[in-house]
Structure 1
């Protein structure tokens, strides 16, 4: 990158104009389905407790309290939006910035744009239909649209592993997953791994990225649903199979675009999961995050049966505008600030 050009935007002005147009279409799509737009704080005293998401910490002083306060740039607007649901909102969406540490590359930027929405009385399969309609609208002029199936494919997490690896991630033990990785992706296995001590999720994720995702890319547009409970911190456990939770993801051309849940409603269960997630953070050398008091209070008051989805807007616009990286649809990615 030429140092003399870093003051210029990464995206062309014509691309930024198209970005603006598509963002307007996304808003109109939600409003046409009777969602209303909300704004919630991006800087909060609490954050999602997730071993896989690390928030930026901001130290605040000079507030009403004489003590310094730690606050967090939100990895998603989820917690405050759920508090709105508990207060009586039924269909809400938010188009906003989100922040995550240690994320950079072709598909990542520490600060990115997401759209997150919630609907009361809607299950994960109804959300899949909604997302497909939204994506087709945004992608209608892209090169990708010509190759999409007439209906986005839907497979369970279990089926995805069966189809690509002929193994069951739910039934296999850690030793069997390690053997599958050694057989199929030996060069992708980190040399400093701790074997069976790493746990099932580590080896499932490794096989997912190395073997399953190439198969997902071949499908061009595919939803994967019913993830293992251990990989769905805020999702409801499936009443049909206690091994899985009602979580789903959409992959377009091999790129993860959205992540959705049938939301967990039990405050006591969230407390229990938070303890587990914080312990995993500690095991990884990360600091534990404070308890989510406000969300727990809202859930105890009564969070309605609902589902929610977070969608990476930069990634979707990258595909819609036929760009090679999300930097090409952002005015000033972190590399230029």
Structure 2
């Protein structure tokens, strides 16, 4: 007989408490909770992210089927363009190629959008949320009080001597080899930057510290505005607790012409890498044409946050039914 038992009994009550604390955080700030579809007619084209295709056995939904959403970003932006005001959602999302101690193909994602915020203001709010939530239960671990805020290019230069905006793929591969990093397959420039940051730089982050990385290369932020301070960069940030990435946010792009240009760049990169090309979302462009208000948005992994609060190092210890037992 198979072992039918759920896996995360020790974190079940903490998860319920965390969800209540998150909802309380936004209720106190007047941010509206919304719901959007898990299954959509299109999905993201970001080469760093693979979507799950869904097809009903009876053909419902048409021959093309649909796509399980990697985040609620696109429909939430349609709500913003429709005048929703500040909104948040705790959604179930799906991503291919992600399974292991820090990844589960299906997971809980907290996503929110704030009108009148830019990327730096929203990053500060993420830190406030982490600190307030951690303080809600004396048994939970808390991050260090002062985060480090550093630009992506500056950190790569500081740790590896890499010029994130100008070094080519061959130079980045050589730096990886010097560090003993072996990567199978052929990588383009952005993939090498990702590998160097995630495998050579981030593991050195102090365990209790929150680190905010900002000003990512523009090629790694299809839906972020250009940085006002650094040419070649976009107004994107990521938040880490120790060496665990928790959140990814943007000062949101509102220009539909620029969005179309970047979308075609992502298509081209997928083709060059031999990746499948999913159906693009058919509605976001129209929302941008209608007018997306000035806002910043961020997505935060709820399961990963729970890992940090409980001091767990394996996501399967905070999910009752991880992949393989779902």
1:34 is displaced (CA, Å) by 1.0
- The CA deviation string for residues 66-108 of structure 1, in whole angstroms up to 9 with x for no partner, is x423200000000000000000112100001000111100111
Q: Mean Cα displacement is larger for which, 278-287 or 136-145?
A: 136-145
Q: TM-score, normalised by structure 1?
A: 0.90
1:204 is displaced (CA, Å) by 1.2
Residue of 186, 209, 217 corresponding to 1:220 = 209
Aligned with 2:283: secondary structure? helix
Residue of 278, 287, 295 corresponding to 1:289 = 278
Checking the alignment, whether the CA contact within 8 Å between 1:86 and 1:301 is kept in structure 2 is yes
Checking the alignment, whether the CA contact within 8 Å between 2:44 and 2:280 is kept in structure 1 is no
Describe the shift of the 1:116–1:191 C-alpha distance in structure 2 as closer, same or farther (beyond 3 A): closer
1:336 is displaced (CA, Å) by 1.1
Q: Name the structure with the higher helix share.
A: 1
Between the aligned partners of 1:88 and 1:270, the Cα distance in structure 2 is: 21
Between the aligned partners of 1:317 and 1:218, the Cα distance in structure 2 is: 15
- Structure 1 portions without partners, runs of 5+: none
The corresponding residue for 1:204 is 193
Checking the alignment, whether the CA contact within 8 Å between 2:251 and 2:295 is kept in structure 1 is yes
The corresponding residue for 2:225 is 236
Checking the alignment, whether the CA contact within 8 Å between 2:41 and 2:65 is kept in structure 1 is yes
The corresponding residue for 2:320 is 331
- Structure 2 portions without partners, runs of 5+: none
User: 4+ residue runs of structure 1 moved beyond 6 angstroms?
Assistant: none
Aligned with 2:246: secondary structure? strand
Checking the alignment, whether the CA contact within 8 Å between 2:141 and 2:310 is kept in structure 1 is no
Between the aligned partners of 1:215 and 1:98, the Cα distance in structure 2 is: 29
1:137-152 superposed matches below 5 A: 137-140=132-135, 141=138, 144-145=141-142, 148-152=143-147
Say if 2:183 is the partner of 1:190: yes
Cα root mean square deviation, aligned: 1.9
1:1-337 superposed matches below 5 A: 4=2, 6-12=3-9, 14-60=10-56, 62-63=59-60, 67-140=62-135, 141=138, 144-145=141-142, 148-183=143-178, 185-186=179-180, 188-193=181-186, 198-217=187-206, 220-337=209-326
Checking the alignment, whether the CA contact within 8 Å between 2:59 and 2:65 is kept in structure 1 is no
- The CA deviation string for residues 173-218 of structure 1, in whole angstroms up to 9 with x for no partner, is 33332332222x22x222544xxxx332122122112321123346
1:240 is displaced (CA, Å) by 2.8
Between the aligned partners of 1:19 and 1:207, the Cα distance in structure 2 is: 33
Between the aligned partners of 2:313 and 2:64, the Cα distance in structure 1 is: 40
Q: TM-score, normalised by structure 2?
A: 0.93
Checking the alignment, whether the CA contact within 8 Å between 2:90 and 2:108 is kept in structure 1 is yes
Between the aligned partners of 2:112 and 2:216, the Cα distance in structure 1 is: 20
- The CA deviation string for residues 152-173 of structure 1, in whole angstroms up to 9 with x for no partner, is 1100001211221233212323
Checking the alignment, whether the CA contact within 8 Å between 2:307 and 2:314 is kept in structure 1 is yes
Q: Mean Cα displacement is larger for which, 213-222 or 227-236?
A: 213-222
Describe the shift of the 1:142–1:180 C-alpha distance in structure 2 as closer, same or farther (beyond 3 A): farther
Between the aligned partners of 1:109 and 1:149, the Cα distance in structure 2 is: 27
